[in-house]
Structure 1
């Protein structure tokens, strides 16, 4: 099982995708979820910061010395390795490896390197400790960033008992920024021929804007359709994976859009075990980076029980275009 980060609660997908029943895997009550902060914006200074004594390469697990003397009361941040990729912005989902330890003792309380699986964090208030938000915004993909986070922009006076963090502890992090995703992110790969005239045709633009979705004048298919529109070259999704996506959904009969991350200007993430069967079956086995056309017959969608207020008719066949941005 993938270890849960101490820094963040993974945001849920939009309501129209949720499967029926209780969301037992929700992180919303996790004690690691940071409280909405009323702290003022920090002053960002260059130090002091402990030395990185080993593991000095990007994506290599670092060894960090114990803090020397008293840490700054301000937020200390340094770009140790400068990347040249996209610039990280507020609200982005950031893919990274990281290590966190306590200034005074050098006790490591969390790291992603040992599991060899990078973590995802949304740089939004209430989703991650404020120190990360302020330290990483404006940095570039490919960078290694070291920071020392005082309690005011960490876990506050309450600390984090789960991690052994006291309310007086300054936290030291080393973060390797692997990628960043936002509402302008799109699939990337090779276009795949769409030569079945009885199926919807999806636009292949990759500029972050919603692709077109043309419904043919034909009866909807009786079985699930899940076809590549753009085929990426990333990992294949497994049924238990959590994914980060852009998508748009319309009803076959009317062509009316009922949900869209493009319109909401907000990416969503969800477990493939917590969405309607058409999504979980349609995306399992598909590659990260791809755009997929999914046509869902009623029995694999909502049948006669669509979500209240969703605008979805009873017995509707649903059509989605989905950009698989990342496996989380």
Structure 2
């Protein structure tokens, strides 16, 4: 029987969604910008530059904006304007983005959701079925560091059914202000500062940052009895909290023989997983990434009692009593 993916949501790029992690305790909005996959995609929208309401306060990137109520009738097309042009990498469809946003209803000016107050930016993939099409089309090609305002008609938002929980009717055009903080794809790596690896009793891990799997050399010695969690590349982001969901590159090996049993590097995938849920799968991995800084590559060595112990996955290279070795590039957290 095929075992469940170790990191729960390590799936092909273009298919993963945050909700796939099942993280019911993560900060959530009344109206998530995620969307359900549709059977057939309509043609791309026509993108126009207005009309769009004025941003009257919080006009700097990273500040919570205040947006005027829409004036007159909104466009039937997707209206998109770059308010602040960033100088970073251009976002492509199927990339993951990290962004803060505020959303309100055109006709009333009522704010139905914003991430600025939660102090946890959204991490979401610009893929069909993962996010509303207004975002998918409106943000493609924008550079990180940009503030983008858009007016999304129902066809490119929540459709004729709207979103009753958020008070959005099927006729409502939605206004968003989005600060695109960063973007990631299957070639992304951690890019922190290299930390010396001087313990000969521990695996050594490559420090390449080209998106390829770092080489892991496991010593021909007995594994440690206790959990090990060390920086390979130390980033400068916030420390991971136990209630967060992470976007990662990773690989997992068994100590004996150093054979890889699962990885995302070079596979066209990234992994999203809830730290809380990982506690129920490989407790030591959850403990090993908690407290580490976003943007880091981390070596985690997990003894059997914090991994699968005497109940390894069926038909796998992981055996009873296996010590596991992970390298994890923590790209983003929410």
Q: Please indicate, yes or no, whether the TM-score normalized by the shorter chain is above 0.5.
A: yes
Residue 262 of structure 2 is matched in structure 1 by 259
CA distance in 2, matches of 1:252, 1:58: 46
Give 2:87's aligned residue.
Answer: 84
Contact 2:186 2:266 (C-alpha < 8 Å) held by counterparts = no
The within-5 A match list for 1:133-212 is 133-212=136-215
Cα distance, 1:170 vs structure 2: 0.9
Answer whether contact 1:228 1:290 (CA < 8 A) is retained: yes
| CA distance, structure 2, for counterparts of residue 269 and residue 305 of structure 1 | 24
Match of 1:118 in 2: 121
| Stretch of structure 1 that moved more, 228-237 or 81-90 | 228-237
Q: Does 2:220 align with 1:217?
A: yes
Whether 1:70 aligns to 2:79 is no
Task: Determine the structure 1 residue equivalent to 2:12.
Answer: none
- Distance (whole Å) between structure 2 residues aligned to residue 264 and residue 279 of structure 1: 21
Q: Which runs of 5+ in 1 are unaligned?
A: 1-13
> 5 Å matches for 1:238-257?
238-257=241-260
> Which one of the candidate residues 291, 294, 317 is aligned to 2:300?
294
Separation (CA, whole Å) in 1 of partners of 2:104 and 2:274: 29
Hey, what does 1:25 align to over in structure 2? 23
Q: Which runs of 5+ in 2 are unaligned?
A: 9-20
Distance in 2, matches of 1:31 and 1:118, equals: 15
Counterpart in the other structure of 2:132: 129
1:9: which partner in 2?
none
Counterpart in 2 of 1:327?
333
Bigger drift between 146-155 and 298-307 goes to 298-307
Q: Partners of 1:114 and 1:240 in 2: how far apart?
A: 17
The answer to whether the 8 Å contact 1:39/1:153 transfers is no
Q: 1:135 to 1:31 in 2, by over 3 A?
A: closer
In the alignment, the residues of structure 2 paired with residue 142 and residue 31 of structure 1 have an alpha-carbon distance, to the nearest angstrom, of 24
TM-score by length of 2: 0.87
Select 1:15's aligned residue among 2, 5, 9: 5
1:16–1:307 Cα contact (<8 Å) kept: no
SS of the residue 2:138 aligns to: helix
- Greater relative contact order structure (CA < 8 Å, 6+ sep): 2
Distance of 2:319 and 2:59 partners within structure 1:
56
Distance (whole Å) between structure 1 residues aligned to residue 239 and residue 284 of structure 2 = 17
DSSP-derived class of the 2:196 partner: coil
How far apart, CA to CA, are the structure 2 residues paired with 1:102 and 1:287?
36
* 1:105 equivalent among 104, 108, 123: 108
Are 2:7 and 2:273, in contact at CA under 8 Å, matched by a contact in 1? no
Report the Cα distance in structure 2 between the residues aligned to 1:237 and 1:272, rounded to whole angstroms: 9
Provide, for residues 249-272 of structure 1, a one-character-per-residue CA deviation record: whole Å limited to 9, x for no partner: 111112221111114322212221
* Structure-1 residue corresponding to 2:16: none
- Distance in 1, matches of 2:161 and 2:257, equals 53
1:59 partner SS: coil
Size of the aligned set, in residue pairs, is: 309
More deviation, 157-166/226-235: 226-235
Q: CA deviation at 1:24?
A: 6.4
Task: Give the superposition deviation at 1:308.
Answer: 3.8
Confirm or deny that 1:314 pairs with 2:315: no
Where in structure 1 do 4 or more consecutive aligned residues deviate above 6 Å?
Answer: none
Aligned partners of 2:148, 2:315: CA distance in 1, in Å? Answer: 44
